[in-house]
Structure 1
């Protein structure tokens, strides 16, 4: 009798705990927990994240929670739900992104919280309307240079073409002219690591790196790339107008506030500049090329402003 009583208490306690979890779930979205404590659905989720999410959406609806590796991740998969979330007064952007920023760029939460407002104000001014003309000129010049390097013959996948153009352009404008590698092997290496990092960013922002081996390797490579080049970025001076790059201004703010250099913010800036630009450019070009009448109208508009291809080349060389 003495042994049975403690056992009954333990069983009743477990039942009460399970009932409590079920009651809490009734107040929130369905939760996929798996059957292993702490790990939860981590193995299934990590094996094929996108497939796992799609199956969960079909089974549980547009909003659901996944418990994996001690972390609860709630997915909102419909536009209406996302709008409700983003407009909620309960949402605090700085607090919400501290964990993702730490996971994806290894920026400590206290550093990010202390610098966020100052960096936001600096970048808003640097990329404001007054400076857009300067950036547009630099962008045009860099794109023209990259297009010339491609030559006039040959074929390439459109997605690869967009990446081939925008990667060096963004790096050379935002960080320093000539920072992007020119060696073919190193170019391919940069493409490989950034593409893996970019495509796995959403998962890397939520999941432990131990479940994302290739993504983690790419993150470390990119951080090492910026750490190696920070001294050159700091001392770089534009040959044309001696203006500072966005990364130089960003480093000045960081060093003033923390007395430290931060290649981590270089990685964050690189991802922010390319993560949306690449797919937008790809789909825009794809749409234009698949509609001959739209393509013809655009070319006529360009010619009416800049003239023929030869005249465009002459104009760009004067910028």
Structure 2
């Protein structure tokens, strides 16, 4: 009763004030509360130190969103490897470095989960019933279903298909138009997303589906891609054009997949060794006997293709830019491809096989170094299900908060990689940090054995139960793209230096304009 009386007195006092005074209180009260709350939080010894922020709710969203690695390093200098910050109403506890990788990636399923962290972002893009819109054990089985199309034997058949798509794109007037031009300028933020979606669809989804892909279909994937922005992360649905384009693209792409699935079922034309579509149609029955619906298979196909497209489009764009600034490395790569072909008694790039790609050390190290400097996702987080003690500290992360880890920060830190900001593929010649955990054993979460060790500073494909299953496919696709470029053209940057990171989307891309100037080599196919 006393509380109610106090509230009435406070209200009466408030309405007695002038309009200017009322507005001032409404505007400034949240800021005052925010500062008082942070002061009280700082007195606690069981919480990670909080990065100070002036703006309520938004917190550190601006410095984190504009330059996350700088934000992490500045915070580390002040607070250490473990700290917290406010991000759009969410308290994020960050643990930087390899120990942080262990803390987050090796956390138990009942302690943290990715589903609650990402579901509202991914479900409108991929669709219902797949990836994070299902229990974790379902996701593990979905990854197992997809692995039937990611075998060594499958990769052998993918290489010539990917190369055919690249050569076709080189010749296409909508691509490089090399059939008519000996040189030109390419906007790689247009060419690489198109090229990767065409090569991925041809290899993974097969000839029937590839025939349905054109520039307009690639645009649909671009519209879906725009569903992965910080705004989408906070607000799942808004009456904005990009949200409508996202939903329209999801419906059209999944309907296209579903129509082919239904056609094959009706005719009995299903061969599990033909492509990923047939593979999923054949093997997508869960352990409890429940079968994935055709709509869920279509949605999973979107998730798989987009996962690969993100990594390969960004990574191929970045290595073209870095190599554009390093003609010496282009020459080394050309020599590597030429020597492989010469040993086979040929000069025809079509003779380059999957096995040859495995033996191209510099080509693979260029991809590895590009992924080190430009990990596609700058931050990975999980929602905490029950209170967690941060190892070797007195800090507790309460249920409902988030934990965040950033392998991308670690991979670009001089603490772990000498001259970390320098693009140097030869750093991997004798110091293969990627294999650091090879002797730490494996664990199978349901989709095949993966390394237990996540304490390496190099984890471009993540770790633990959510480790990306497409790593080997990415190297096959990217290795084929890179070898096709260096054997057909020379290129340089159109601009003085490699563009900076653009962190405005969830995937780290080059700032535009990102263009290269190319000219044909004598060995060019055309």
8 Å contact 2:226–2:242 — kept in the other structure? yes
Q: Which residue of 2 aligns with 1:231?
A: 258
Cα deviation digits, residues 5-54 of structure 1 (max 9, x gap): 968xxxxxx9x987764455752241567654xxx117x73x78622746
Q: Which residue of 1 aligns with 2:279?
A: 249
TM-score, normalising length: structure 1:
0.69
8 Å contact 1:196–1:214 — kept in the other structure? no
Q: Which is bigger in relative contact order (C-alpha 8 A, separation at least 6)?
A: 2
When you count strand as a share of all residues, which structure comes out higher?
A: 2
Closer/same/farther in 2, CA of residues 167 and 97 from structure 1, 3 Å limit? same
Cα deviation digits, residues 107-142 of structure 1 (max 9, x gap): 466724242222222223331223321233332333
**Of residues 53, 60, 75 in structure 2, which corresponds to 1:60?**
75
Measure, in 2, the Cα distance between the counterparts of 1:276 and 1:19: 41
Closer/same/farther in 2, CA of residues 211 and 34 from structure 1, 3 Å limit? farther
Unaligned runs of 5+ in 2: 8-32, 354-526
Whether 1:307 and 2:307 are equivalent positions in the alignment is: no
Measure, in 1, the Cα distance between the counterparts of 2:112 and 2:239: 24
- SS at 2:48 equivalent: coil
Closer/same/farther in 2, CA of residues 68 and 59 from structure 1, 3 Å limit? same
Q: CA deviation at 1:70?
A: 4.3
Q: Which residue of 2 aligns with 1:11?
A: none
**Of residues 332, 338, 351 in structure 2, which corresponds to 1:294?**
332
TM-score, normalising length: structure 2:
0.45
8 Å contact 2:162–2:202 — kept in the other structure? no
Cα deviation digits, residues 188-247 of structure 1 (max 9, x gap): 63364245345x3xx36853335895764454233213232133331359x9x8844224
**Of residues 214, 226, 231 in structure 2, which corresponds to 1:196?**
226
Measure, in 1, the Cα distance between the counterparts of 2:246 and 2:162: 26
Taking the TM superposition and a 5 Å limit, the aligned residue runs for 1:1-319 are: 21-24=41-44, 27-30=47-50, 36=56, 40-41=57-58, 45=61, 50-51=65-66, 53=68, 56-57=71-72, 60-61=75-76, 63-68=82-87, 70-76=89-95, 78-80=96-98, 82-86=100-104, 88=106, 90-92=107-109, 96-106=113-123, 107=128, 111-149=134-172, 150-152=176-178, 153=181, 154-177=184-207, 179=209, 184=215, 186=216, 189-190=219-220, 192-197=222-227, 200=229, 203=230, 206-209=233-236, 216-217=243-244, 219-234=246-261, 235=263, 243-250=273-280, 253=284, 256-259=290-293, 261-262=295-296, 263-289=298-324, 290=326, 291=328, 292-304=330-342, 305=344, 307-308=346-347, 311-312=348-349
- SS at 1:156 equivalent: strand
Cα RMSD (Å):
4.5
Closer/same/farther in 2, CA of residues 17 and 143 from structure 1, 3 Å limit? closer
Q: CA deviation at 1:273?
A: 1.1
Closer/same/farther in 2, CA of residues 296 and 264 from structure 1, 3 Å limit? closer
When you count helix as a share of all residues, which structure comes out higher?
A: 1
Closer/same/farther in 2, CA of residues 23 and 91 from structure 1, 3 Å limit? farther
Closer/same/farther in 2, CA of residues 218 and 58 from structure 1, 3 Å limit? farther
8 Å contact 2:50–2:84 — kept in the other structure? yes
